[in-house]
Amino acid sequence: MENYCKEFKIQKNDIGNAGTVASLTKRELKRRGLTKDFVKTVTIGIYEAEINVVIHSYGGTCVVSIDDEFVNVTFKDNGPGIECIDSALTPGFSTASHYAIENGFGAGMGLPNIKSVSDEMELTSSKEGTTLHMKFNISGDSYES
Amino acid sequence: MRVNNILTNINFELLSNESGLNHEVKSFFASDLLSHVMGNAAEGSTLITVLNNINVLGVASLLDMSCVIFSHGVKVNDEIISKSNELGIPILRTKLNTVSTILILDKIGS
């Protein structure tokens, strides 16, 4: 199947639109005949990361690319960066604002969830911005039979 | 059990239109933290929550959930109801608290 590549913009505090990347990617993965479980895995990872950009950063972008072997997703934001990546990866650790918590987020489960659903995850951060890359392997079993 | 069956009980009111009332309720999941819902709820499950914002529907849609029940009689705004109609995921509301809701749902299902 043809390769897919799409870039999305994510605005700070735009909670109402968080989930757009996940739902459009879900549609594309379904169209390609991938299984419900595979689609769920990828969309959970994307949704969590989208929420992170919305509630923690000054805004950013997301690029989703899909070929026959992998789904690659890269989120880049414009800061302010993660102070301690090890803490951020600890389940339950949270620096979320009252605003995020009121909206049902900020439980400290975002990055741990992303780590557990993705096949590879890379997270780098400085004050200028955070980059999160996640990779999902597509195998024969990933397709509906 | 289907969403329709839940509505036969007097404690539940339908807030959305009738699309999706035929959905099979495969299990229940109660939480007010969306990351917990996302990481743990199963496909076809019905979510019981007091969290009344639009993202609840976003998560329910991503996970192909069968229904969302708002407990404690929380206020549900028009934006949530129209999103529910658009997605075909019915939303119900009850004045019961979450624990009582689960106990009644268990009775309806048995």
| Cα(A58)–Cα(A83) distance, integer angstroms | 15
Which chain B residues contact residue A108 at CB under 8 A? 35
The torsion region of residue A112 among left (phi > 0), alpha (psi -120 to 50) and beta comes to alpha
A-contacting residues in B 17-36 (Cβ below 8 Å): 32-36
Which chain B residues contact residue A107 at CB under 8 A? 33-36
The residue of B26, B31, B32, B35 whose CB has the most chain A CBs within 10 angstroms, and thus the best one to mutate to test that interface, is B35
Q: How many Cβ contacts (< 8 angstroms) between chains A and B? A: 62
CB of B62 within 8 Å of a chain A CB? The answer is yes
Report pLDDT for A103: 85
Q: What rounded mean pLDDT belongs to chain A?
A: 95
Q: What is the extent of the structural domain holding B90? A: 3-109
3-state secondary structure of B85: helix
Cβ separation B64–A36 shorter than 8 A: yes
Total tally of structural domains belonging to chain B? 1
Q: Give the number of residues written for chain B.
A: 110
Q: Is a pLDDT exceeding 90 seen at residue A104?
A: no
Domain ranges of chain A: 4-142
How does pLDDT run across B15-24, given as a tens digit for each residue?
999 999 999 9
Provide the β-strand partners of residue B14.
B92
CB B102, CB B110: distance < 8 Å: no
| Residue A54 DSSP one-character state | H
Q: Please report, for the domain that includes residue B7, its CATH number.
A: 3.40.1390.20
How does pLDDT run across B27-82, given as a tens digit for each residue?
999 999 998 898 899 999 999 999 998 899 999 999 999 999 999 999 999 999 99
Mean local confidence (pLDDT), A75-86: 96
Report pLDDT for A34: 97
Enter the CATH code of domain A4-142.
3.30.565.10
Cβ separation A44–B38 shorter than 8 A: yes
| Cα(A5)–Cα(A2) distance, integer angstroms | 10
| Cα(A136)–Cα(A72) distance, integer angstroms | 7
Give the ipTM of the model, two decimals please: 0.80
Pick the closest to residue A76 from A20, A124, A117 (CA basis).
Answer: A124
Mean local confidence (pLDDT), B2-14: 97
Joined together, the tokens standing for residue B49 give 């929550």
**Interhelix angle for A36-56 vs B55-62, to 10°?**
160
